[in-house]
Structure 1
Amino acid sequence: MDWKFLQGLLSGVNKYSTAFGRIWLSVVFVFRVLVYVVAAERVWSDDQGHFDCNTRQPGCTNICYDYFFPISHIRLWALQLIFVTCPSFMVVLHVAYREERERKYRAKHGEDTRLYDNPGQKHGGLWWTYLMSLFIKTGFEITFLYLLHYIYDSFKLPRKVQCDISPCPNLVDCYISRPTEKTIFTYFMVGASVMCVVLNICEIFYLIALRIVNLRHRGSVHTSSRKIYPGTDCDDSKSSLKG
């Protein structure tokens, strides 16, 4: 997987993120992607090859490994990283859509006119897109954490598992390679994921609170304007065009 390509795409998201969003990107790159690429992949590289069972029955070891590890931690984390970063591209695409509308608007009405004060400013439809991306990312994070715990019953890997699935002749003991090291990395990745969930929730509350403050401020400004200029309508005619 080309993580540099993913990093290049997400770097564009950083321009339109809040302070919480920038911290989230840092956590994803430093504590998740970097740890995944540099260390975690190597820890699980010998996962199946060093899964030993105390039997020579052909096929027993493979069947037991598939039963206890239906999907590898490393592949599940790769899917998780892809799913939780993709919603951020919604924001980049929406900004690109705004910039294209701005270009067409200027071409039609002149270079001195503007449809948006700043295409990357989180107002109108872009605010909703950004908020929706946060809810989707949080949902994916929680879903993958649940899947990891559901598949393995715990975030801690046992040293020994017992298997009696055919073609195993009887109840056999199987031993996982480097269970302590893998447990440490599992807890680390889970902790980083939980941190991302907390950051997403904080950013959601921050955006909603900031929106409420702005709406109240705008309402007080409109009320003051109507008192000074009775009978006037202070709504911006271009607000209906923005999205």
Structure 2
Amino acid sequence: MDWKFLEGLLSGVNKYSTAFGRIWLSVVFVFRVLVFVVAAERVWSDDQGHFDCNTRQPGCTNICYDYIFPISHIRLWALQLIFVTCPSFMVVLHVAYRKERERKYRAKHGENTRLYNNPGQKHGGLWWTYLISLFVKTIFELTFLYLLHYIYESFKLPRKVQCNVSPCPNLVDCYVSRPTEKTVFSYFMVGASVVCVVLNICEIFYLIASRLVNLKHRGSRHTATMNIHHDMSCDACKPTFEL
């Protein structure tokens, strides 16, 4: 893995994130990506080689392994990490688009003009992009958690499984290598995913609440400004009497 490239992406996303978003990034890259690359991937590296069945029928062990594990936990988690991190880069791309528009605007109207007060400030379309990215990340997280539980019916790895698919001659018993260690990592990755879902939901509520408060303050300032103008116009309309 190219850690410099990953660090660049992390710093880019972190720059435009809220406090909840920064915590989410830390959980993803420290408790999920690093654990996945350093430890979990090695635990499942010899999974198929140590999957043992009490039969010597040619092809039975491979067929049973494919039947019990239609997709490896490692590959499923790798897809999950890719899908849940990609929506965050929508914000970075949107900010880059704003900066390019700002550059073209200044080149056309002069260096002292500005199209945005701050291209990275979450207002207008960028606010919607950020909010949509949070919803997409949450949907992906919940979808992969459902898939993991649906495929394996549990997050716990069994010690013994049974298989009777062809070419196995009858019902055979197969044994999973290091089931306790794999169960620990499974629960750890699921727990980290749940924490990320909670952080995403908290950030969604935070963004919506902040937007409502800003709109309320903006409406209050607009009302106060209108009242001031009304009072001034009324003072100008008062008759004057000269002695």
- TM-score bucket of the superposed structures, by smaller chain: over 0.9
Q: Give the equivalent residue in structure 1 for 2:104.
A: 104
Aligned residue in 1 for 2:17: 17
| In structure 1, C-alpha distance between the alignment counterparts of 2:105 and 2:230, rounded to whole Å | 33
> How well do the aligned residues superpose, as a CA RMSD in angstroms?
1.4
* Partner SS for 1:177: coil
- May I ask how many residue pairs the two structures share in their alignment? 232
2:72 aligned with 1:72, yes or no?
yes
What is the match of residue 234 of structure 2? none
* 1:87 correspondence with 2:87: yes
Corresponding residue of 2:176: 176
Question: Mapping of 1:178-197 within 5 angstroms?
Answer: 178-197=178-197
- Structure with larger Rg: 2
In structure 1, what is the Cα distance between the partners aligned to 2:209 and 2:133? 17
Amino acid at match of 1:72: S
The answer to whether 1:150 aligns with 2:150 is yes
Instruction: Give the secondary structure class of the aligned counterpart of 1:39.
Output: helix
SS of equivalent residue, structure 2 residue 136? helix
2:39 aligns with 39
Matched with 2:119 is 119
Q: Relative to 1, partners in 2 of residues 1:211 and 1:95: Cα closer, same or farther, differing over 3 Å?
A: same
What is the alpha-carbon distance in structure 2 between the residues aligned to residue 60 and residue 3 of structure 1? 41
Q: Cα gap change, 1:4/1:60 in structure 2, threshold over 3 Å: closer, same or farther?
A: farther
CA distance in 2: counterparts of 1:147 and 1:2, whole angstroms: 29
What CA deviation, in whole Å up to 9, does each residue of 1:120-141 have, x standing for no partner?
0000000000000000000000
Q: Could you tell me how far 1:6 is from its partner in structure 2?
A: 3.5
Q: CA deviation at 1:107?
A: 1.1
Are the counterparts in 2 of residues 163 and 174 from structure 1 also a CA contact under 8 Å? yes
Q: Deviations over 1:174-208 (max 9, x none)?
A: 00000000000000000000000000000000000
Question: CA–CA distance in 1 between the matches of 2:2 and 2:175?
Answer: 33
Once the 2 structures are TM-superposed, how far is the Cα of residue 5 of structure 1 from its aligned partner?
2.9
Aligned to 1:224: 224
Structure 2 gap segments, 5+ residues each: 232-243
Q: Secondary structure at the match of 1:162?
A: strand
Q: Which runs of 5+ in 1 are unaligned?
A: 232-243
Match of 1:5 in 2: 5
- Relative to structure 1, the CA distance from residue 3 to residue 197 in structure 2 (aligned partners, 3 Å threshold; closer, same or farther) is farther
Q: Which amino acid aligns with 1:8?
A: G
Letter in 1 for 2:159: R
Letter of the structure 2 residue corresponding to residue 64 of structure 1: C
CA distance 1:4–1:66, shift in 2 (3 Å): farther
Could you say which residue in structure 1 is the equivalent of 2:241? none
Q: Secondary structure at the match of 2:197?
A: helix
1:29-63 deviation line (CA, Å, top 9, x unaligned) = 11000000110000000000000000000000000
Residues 2 and 165 from structure 1, CA distance in 2 versus in 1: closer, same or farther, beyond 3 angstroms? farther
Q: Give the superposition deviation at 1:4.
A: 5.0
**Is the partner of 2:166 in helix, strand or coil?**
coil
CA–CA distance in 2 between the matches of 1:111 and 1:199? Answer: 40
> For the residues of structure 1 that align with 2:230 and 2:102, how far apart are their CA atoms?
34
CA contact (8 A) 1:94 1:126 kept: yes
How far apart, CA to CA, are the structure 1 residues paired with 2:96 and 2:72? 37
Distance 2:117 2:163 in 1: 65
Report the TM-score, using the length of structure 1 for normalisation.
0.93
In the alignment, residue 63 of structure 1 is paired with which amino acid?
I
1:51 aligns with 2:57: no
Deviation of residue 105 (structure 1)? 1.1
